[in-house]
A and B are shown apart, each in its own frame.
Chain A
Amino acid sequence: MSRRVVVGVFDDEANLLGVTQEARAEGLKILDVYTPYAVHGLDAAMGLRASRLPWVCFLAAITGAALKLWFEFWTTMVDWPLNIGGKPWNSLPAFVPVTFEVMVLSAGLTTVFTFLVLARLRPGKRPAMLFPGVTDDRFVLMLEESDAQFDLVRVRRLFEKFGVVAVEERIEEAGCPGEL
């Protein structure tokens, strides 16, 4: 399935924020926004809901810490008890640093890999270059021509209000956003 998209190219952060806010207020369907750097406030302007990635991080941290703690108790108390400086087998303070490190490691790696999988990023993937300028100094808003009501003239007028640099209409193949 393919869909028709309208791409507006802007040259300024403030204009992009403004046009995104108005496009959303007018009920236009925002497919995505491409910027050369992270623009503060853009997530709110696009109406993105909060990322659930922190939950992945939190759960991975808890799981990693719990498993490591259990493993340390098992090795030093059950499987191969060693007398170290006359300390009791179950010496919790000695386990804390390693538990902490493993917690950070498992949380960090799990978060990164979850993100890569969700964002469908993998080695050798062809970069989806919507408009070369977004790696430099251009800001791009991509709208979907959702139905017959979509009024290109009105959208152009909206774009021009925010000093649009270029407007393009494209046909996009499903499954590869931006690979046109």
Chain B
Amino acid sequence: MNDRQFPARLAALRRPAAAVAAIGGVILLSGLRIAPARAWADLLLASFAMVCLGLSGIFFVALQYATGAVWSIPLRRVGEALAAVLPVGSLGILAVLLLHPAIYPWYGHSEIVTEGWAGFKHAWLSYPFFLVRAVIYLAAWLGFSSAIRRNSRRQDREGGIELSRKNTRLSVAFMVVFGVTFWLASTDWVMSLEPHWASTIFGIYHFSGMFLSGLATLALLALALRATGPLRHGVSNDQFLDLGRLIVAFATFWAYIWFSQYMLIWYANLTEETSYMVLRTSSGWGSLFVVNLLLNWTLPFLLLLPRANKINPRTLAAASLIVLLGRVCDLYLMIIPPFSAASSRPAIWDFAALSVAAAGLFLVTMRSFFASEPIPVGDPFLSSALKIKK
């Protein structure tokens, strides 16, 4: 790490963040002994959130390569830094799947699945196949992510268009692989917590939440890095205007998919489908159900609607924080209710897991960001990106 580049205001946060991660980690570890059911669910939640943020980082970078976007080149290193949390989240996911598979009700009890497609479900939810799939997903994501990042960094030293072309091809391949594997992974790791319930829109629902929260994290990191120095000359209001627009668009996309899932279940009113919504709209979970919609769509949408608010660092940061809170709320509502049907009261393990994730996110992204140039100086299109005016 190049400490000369590391601004003092961010460096000062490293120790507290490490302390938070350590304390949270100890509490979470003791939780795995004291209240295993809830604490493992929390570990799954935090790890899955990390994996999603890491994926959103590399997805953002790949999207820009695949579309030949120029405006976002100064933000590429932020996306790459965000992708650095992917290995950390992957470790957490593997820990849950290997050490506590009993978190999934079908584990060792596949006979409980008796509804339609039972034969297929038995085969799909066999533990060895489940593990092999998880390893394939994670290996594919990590492979693409590190290859794209390596090429991008090599371009810093070598320059030239060839590495951009290489990354464009990698990015297009990644997006195809990602589309299938992310859908399957969200089904495997989250939906199978309630093996009787099925929603065919679940994969795209996860994608919308993943990319929305990823954009919010990108905006927060980029704002922090501009305010403290490293991106002062690279990232201008124009990039933040576009990030703000993307947040508004994807918040709306999330709400659209959220409603599509809710309305079809409400309309058809089939017992095996409504069980999911009944649990989440009753016994204390109901208020969180409404808050979820407010945090992920209504508030950020209204806050970022005026153009000036997309450029204003305060409003953009506020909206991004709201979106991140909404993401936590959304994942919490998906993962925790099956383990605590009667009460929506948060447990200390929830906070422990989330604070480890937040502190870890800060430490890992900063470490990755300051390991290279703050903007991709070797990219042939960087100079046109720096000239963009809207």
Contact = CB atoms under 8 A, between A and B. Distances in A.
Interface in B296-348: 305, 307
A93 B281 CA distance: 14
Mostly, the A contact residues are: helix
Interface string B226-268: 0000000000000000000000000000000001001100110
A44 B267 CA distance: 50
A77 B259 CA distance: 23
A136 B266 CA distance: 55
B259 A40 contact: no
A123 interface: no
B307 A50 contact: yes
Nearest to B305: A58
Nearest to B306: A54
B302 to A, nearest CB: 10
B269 interface: yes
Given A40-B388, A41-B389, A93 B263 contact: yes
Most chain A CB neighbours (cut-off 10 Å) among B262, B267, B269, B307: B267
B390 A94 contact: no
Nearest to B388: A40
Contacts of B307: 50
A57 B235 CA distance: 31
Given A93-B263, A96-B263, A85 B269 contact: yes
Interface in A24-78: 40-41, 44, 50, 58
Given A40-B389, A40-B390, A94 B267 contact: yes
A36 to B, nearest CB: 18
Contacts of B267: 85, 93-94
Contacts, number: 20
A14 to B, nearest CB: 10
B390 to A, nearest CB: 5
Interface in A71-96: 85, 93-94, 96
A40 B266 CA distance: 47
Q: How large is the interface on B (under 10, 10 to 19, 20 to 34, 35 or more residues)?
A: 10 to 19
Contacts of B388: 40
A135 B263 CA distance: 49
A53 B167 CA distance: 41
B389 A96 contact: no
Nearest to A39: B389
A50 B269 CA distance: 48
Contact of B390 (A41, A58, A96): A41
A38 to B, nearest CB: 10
Nearest to B390: A40
Contacts of A50: 307
Nearest to A41: B389
A161 to B, nearest CB: 21
Contacts of B263: 93-94, 96-97
A8 B129 CA distance: 72
A85 B389 CA distance: 55
A40 B236 CA distance: 15
A44 B390 CA distance: 9
A97 B267 CA distance: 13
Contacts of A94: 263, 267
Nearest to B268: A85
A85 B268 CA distance: 9
Contacts of B259: 93, 96
Nearest to B256: A100
Contacts of A97: 263
Interface in B269-298: 269
Nearest to A50: B307
Interface string B106-143: 00000000000000000000000000000000000000
Interface string B365-390: 00000000000000000000000111
A93 B264 CA distance: 9
Contacts of B266: 93
A50 B305 CA distance: 14
A147 B179 CA distance: 65
A40 B238 CA distance: 11
Interface in A130-160: none
Contacts of A41: 389-390
A93 B262 contact: yes
A83 to B, nearest CB: 14
B244 to A, nearest CB: 14
16 contacts: A40-B388, A40-B389, A40-B390, A41-B390, A44-B389, A50-B307, A58-B305, A85-B267, A85-B269, A93-B259, A93-B262, A93-B266, A93-B267, A94-B263, A94-B267, A97-B263
Interface of A: 40-41, 44, 50, 58, 85, 93-94, 96-97
Going nearest first, the 9 A-B pairs with the smallest beta carbon separation are A41-B389, A93-B263, A40-B390, A93-B266, A40-B389, A96-B259, A96-B263, A93-B262, A85-B269
Given A50-B307, A94-B263, A94-B267, 14 more contacts: A40-B389, A40-B390, A41-B389, A41-B390, A44-B389, A58-B305, A85-B267, A85-B269, A93-B259, A93-B266, A93-B267, A96-B259, A96-B263, A97-B263
